[in-house]
Amino acid sequence: MLYAAFTLFPPCLVNAAEGELVISCLFPTDIGSITPPVRRTISSFSTYSTLSPLPQSSSPAILKASGSFEFRNFRPLRAVVVVGSATIIHSWAYHQFNNIWWNHPQTHFHLYRGWKQNQGLYDFGFHDSLWLHMDKFGHFYCARQLAFLMTETFNWIGLSNGCSSWLGAASSWLFMLEIELFDARFQEWGFSLGDLTANTAGVLLPVLKAHSPFLQKFTLKMSYHPTKQGIKNDYFIDDYAGMTFWLCANPRPLLPRFLRNWWPAFLNLSAGYGISEKTDGKIELYFGLDYDLLKLKTKQPALNKLIEFINYFHLPAPALRIQPSLLFQPFNF
């Protein structure tokens, strides 16, 4: 119990220096910077630490979660702006979701059991999904994007990287949970354990990538080309047939040494997943190229953040569709 409490709620120190108040929550890995009496008190916990500082060479695309939670530069006025903006966006989002999904007959809280409702897998069965689990990719991707935006927002109001990344994940997860709770009371839907799993994985991905060199090698991207049904409905949020999700990585570390200098640093390989139709469609698999926009460096921090956000979208690039039939597409998007 004591170890769990120490890990989840690390000791907080209050320092006053040069006229500013600094509240720091320290993980066991930070004890080297604590005075000897306090260090002796918590040194026994240091071997249990699972967090490590970020390497200096980490990609700027990674949401950096250091071990120290600080409110050094907290700006109340910006926080007020964020709260007001979040309230407006939340109201707009509810209105949109209500028009798309929540105007159906309601019932009591219940779990969604899948499209066929006879597999007993509660929306986890692969062949029991109306959209062949494209919606799960969508939940994962949206949760990850929302966590990215919320993390940057908390950074903007003056919170530290570590605090911002965890608050970004938590606030994004709560927003996605709210959607699931609304779904749970509609007869056609229900509370989806599959959606909840995808949401949780999506919001945690940025935090995990900050401490996993292996995960830092991959980027999940999305491309979208509106279908006739999507244009007819005037919204794209469930136009799954027009979406493709891509797992992208740079192959240079795997190439023979004599080929590494030949391969462009900005050029990735990507594997794509999509469907041909929203209902009763076929799975589409792709293999193609992708561009790593993070290789574009500017002197403007705001522009770099915009490039970082755009990099989560797969731009038109050559691709080979390998299922359901072979088809080369010079500009797949």
Q: What's the angle, vertex CA 248, arms to CA 242 and CA 253, rounded to 5?
A: 165
What is the distance in angstroms between the CA of the first residue and the CA of the last residue of the chain?
51
Three-class DSSP category at 283: strand
Three-class DSSP category at 53: coil
- Residue 159, Cβ density class (10 Å: 0-12 exposed, 13-18 middle, ≥19 buried): buried
User: pTM for the full model?
Assistant: 0.75
CA distance 213 to 234: 41
Q: What is the mean pLDDT of residues 65-81?
A: 73
Any idea of the CA torsion for 120, 125, 131, 133, to the nearest 10 degrees? 130
List helix spans (H) across 56-157: 76-100, 134-156
The confidence score (pLDDT) of residue 232 equals 77
Q: What is the mean pLDDT of residues 19-32?
A: 41
The confidence score (pLDDT) of residue 104 equals 78
CA distance 136 to 138: 5
Would you put residue 117 in left (φ > 0), alpha (ψ -120 to 50) or beta? Answer: left
Q: How many helices (H) and strands (E) does the chain have?
A: 9, 9
Q: What is the mean pLDDT of residues 153-160?
A: 92
Residues 6+ apart with CB under 8 A from 66: 53, 54, 160, 161, 162
CA distance 6 to 9: 5
Q: Is it the case that residue 244 has pLDDT exceeding 50?
A: yes
CA distance 184 to 187: 8
Instruction: Report residue 229's pLDDT band, with 50, 70 and 90 as the boundaries.
Output: confident
Which of 15-24, 156-165, 194-203, 295-304: highest mean pLDDT? 194-203
Instruction: Report residue 288's pLDDT band, with 50, 70 and 90 as the boundaries.
Output: very high
Residue 170, H or E segment: helix 161-183
Write phi, then psi, for 203 (nearest 5 degrees): -75, -25
Q: What's the angle, vertex CA 249, arms to CA 246 and CA 251, rounded to 5?
A: 135
Three-class DSSP category at 269: strand
Least confident of 129-133, 190-194, 258-262: 129-133
* CA distance readout (Å), 14 to 33, 71, 139: 13, 10, 39
Strands (E), the chain: 12-17, 20-26, 68-70, 218-224, 243-249, 267-275, 283-291, 317-323, 327-332
